């Protein structure tokens, strides 16, 4: 009798599937950097993760599971943990120290900052969002891709309504049809025929980054509102309201969060206004300016969103633990307050950046001149 192989997944298959899912979740995260993508010399360190905690500190996480929890060590413990020789700092120590200074580990910040630090990622393809996350972002993406489609093709004649459909159109199996589509787009964009595919890929990537940011921001807004309600509850408590230091801390945290959130919202509004103007007469030149404008804000927007996400997640975890008002107040004084000066520092960086970053208004004036 012939042997019939079972289609039931083995433990190895299940483990590999879980590892793949975890790897994708890590790359979609803002506060986790899987070190296997970094060219480190220490094999066991490459299996770890560099993460940020609620205090906005970077620590090494050696393991994380339901039974054992999260096994973390401070960066100062690295030489002793991995047996590095004394004397000159180990190359891995220098690299980890540099990475730990980044305010966010989202892929768009990493693309920018790894290049600045001179760190060559062994797999460049690793610096991208998972297919699942890209699908989640599609409703945000359509806001930016549909105007391009309407500009280039008459929508009544189009058989697609998103970027994937457009890319498929220019790569049609019928070479004659594909060539005609490419020529039509090249004429509309005032670019050479061979540059159209690159243009589309860059267009999709730049607006995927904007969509990712908006997705993270929209998830934060309800949490921030709930946090503010929780703060009012603390302030209305007779005993706690007499704690001057606590009341000042609450006001400082609320004001800081409001300021940086407004700053990010303002950035996205600027991106949308610039995009709307660009779509009125889109060319490769006008898109290049919007691209530079968006990329010039990747690092600061990522830093603010990552910091807010960590603070709000930490607070939600504290609430879900069922702790009373006094324990919550203790959490405000310690974990919530620690790192807030970093968030304010990011806001100052954003203000300086606004003065030097490309703006659509400057581009239109320059073009008119």
Give the rounded percent of residues in the chain with a pLDDT score beyond 90: 53
- Residue 27 near residue 130 (C-beta atoms within 8 A): yes
199 and 324 assigned to the same domain: yes
In Å, what is the CA distance from 187 to each residue of 156, 178, 180, 285?
Answer: 20, 14, 11, 14
Domain boundary (82, 110, 128) is at 128
In Å, what is the CA distance from 360 to each residue of 14, 89, 143, 166?
Answer: 50, 45, 19, 26
Residue 145 lies in a domain: no
Residue 150 confidence (pLDDT): 72
Two structure tokens written together for 198: 């690159």
87 and 232 assigned to the same domain: no
Number of domains the chain contains: 2
The rounded distance, in Å, linking the Cα atoms of 264 and 277 is 20
User: Residue 120: pLDDT band by 50, 70, 90 thresholds?
Assistant: confident
Residue 57 lies in a domain: yes
Residue 84 confidence (pLDDT): 94
- Residue 132 near residue 108 (C-beta atoms within 8 A): no
- Residue 209 near residue 108 (C-beta atoms within 8 A): yes
Q: H/E element holding 21?
A: helix 11-28
Residue 164 lies in a domain: no
Q: Is the pLDDT of residue 3 over 50?
A: no
Two structure tokens written together for 11: 């433990």
- HSE-CB for 3 with a 13 A CA cutoff: 2
215 and 361 assigned to the same domain: yes
The rounded distance, in Å, linking the Cα atoms of 163 and 261 is 29
CA dihedral for 108, 109, 110, 111, sign (positive or negative): positive
Q: Is the pLDDT of residue 156 over 70?
A: no
User: Residue 109: pLDDT band by 50, 70, 90 thresholds?
Assistant: very high
pLDDT digits (tens, 9 = 90+) for 75-95: 999 999 999 988 888 999 999
pLDDT digits (tens, 9 = 90+) for 283-314: 888 889 999 999 988 989 999 999 999 999 99
Domain boundary (128, 147, 176) is at 128
Residue 190 lies in a domain: no
Residue 169 lies in a domain: no
Residue 158 confidence (pLDDT): 44
Domain boundary (128, 151, 174) is at 128
Q: Is the pLDDT of residue 130 over 80?
A: yes
Give the rounded percent of residues in the chain with a pLDDT score beyond 70: 82
Q: Is the pLDDT of residue 247 over 80?
A: yes
β-pair partners for 50: 33, 60
246 and 116 assigned to the same domain: no
User: Residue 194: pLDDT band by 50, 70, 90 thresholds?
Assistant: confident
The one-character DSSP state at 86 is S
Residue 96 confidence (pLDDT): 96
Q: Is the pLDDT of residue 222 over 60?
A: yes
Tell the burial category of 301 from Cβ atoms under 10 Å away from its Cβ (0-12, 13-18, 19+).
Answer: buried
DSSP assignment of 329-364: HHHIIIIITTTHHHHHHHHHHHHHHHHHS--HHHHH
Boundaries of domain holding 329: 195-368
Residue 8 confidence (pLDDT): 53
Q: Is the pTM of this model over 0.75?
A: yes
- Residue 166 near residue 155 (C-beta atoms within 8 A): no
User: Residue 351: pLDDT band by 50, 70, 90 thresholds?
Assistant: low
Q: Is the pLDDT of residue 168 over 80?
A: no
Beta strands in the chain (DSSP E): 32-34, 49-52, 58-65, 69-73
**CA 276 to mean position of chain CA atoms:** 23
- Residue 207 near residue 141 (C-beta atoms within 8 A): yes
Two structure tokens written together for 250: 């609450």
β-pair partners for 51: 32, 59
State mean pLDDT over 365-369: 52
Residue 323 lies in a domain: yes
Residue 164 confidence (pLDDT): 66
């Amino acid at each position: 009798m012939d042997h019939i192989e079972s289609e039931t997944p083995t433990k190895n298959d299940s483990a590999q599937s879980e590892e793949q899912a975890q790897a994708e979740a890590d790359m979609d995260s803002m506060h986790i950097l899987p070190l296997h993508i970094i060219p480190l010399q220490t094999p066991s360190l490459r299996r770890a993760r560099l993460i940020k905690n609620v205090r906005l500190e970077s620590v090494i996480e050696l393991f994380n599971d339901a039974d054992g929890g999260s096994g973390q060590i401070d960066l100062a413990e690295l030489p002793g943990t991995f047996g590095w020789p004394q004397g000159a700092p180990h190359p891995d120590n220098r690299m980890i120290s540099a990475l730990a200074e980044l305010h966010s580990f989202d892929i768009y910040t990493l693309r920018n900052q790894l290049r600045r630090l001179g760190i060559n990622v062994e797999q460049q393809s690793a610096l991208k969002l998972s297919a699942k996350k890209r699908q989640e972002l599609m409703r945000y993406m359509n806001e930016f891709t549909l105007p391009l489609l309407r500009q280039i093709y008459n929508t009544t004649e189009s058989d697609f309504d998103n970027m994937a459909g457009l890319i498929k159109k220019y790569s049609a199996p019928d070479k004659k049809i594909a060539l005609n589509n490419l020529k039509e787009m090249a004429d509309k964009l005032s670019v050479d025929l061979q540059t159209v595919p690159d243009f589309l890929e860059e267009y999709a990537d730049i607006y995927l980054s904007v969509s990712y940011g908006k997705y993270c921001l929209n998830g934060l807004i309800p949490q921030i509102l709930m946090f503010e309600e929780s703060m009012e509850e603390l302030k209305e408590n007779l005993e706690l309201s007499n704690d001057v230091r606590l009341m000042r801390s609450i006001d400082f945290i609320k004001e800081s969060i409001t300021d940086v959130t407004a700053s990010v919202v303002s950035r996205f509004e600027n991106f949308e206004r610039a995009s709307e103007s660009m779509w009125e007469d889109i060319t490769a030149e006008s898109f290049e300016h919007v691209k530079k404008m968006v990329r010039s804000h990747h690092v600061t927007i990522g830093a603010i969103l990552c910091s807010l996400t960590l603070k709000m997640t930490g607070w939600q975890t504290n609430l879900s633990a069922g702790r009373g008002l006094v324990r919550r107040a203790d959490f405000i004084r310690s974990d919530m307050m620690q790192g807030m000066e970093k968030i304010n520092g990011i806001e100052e960086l954003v203000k300086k950046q606004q003065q030097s970053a490309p703006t659509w208004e400057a581009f239109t004036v320059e073009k008119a001149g």
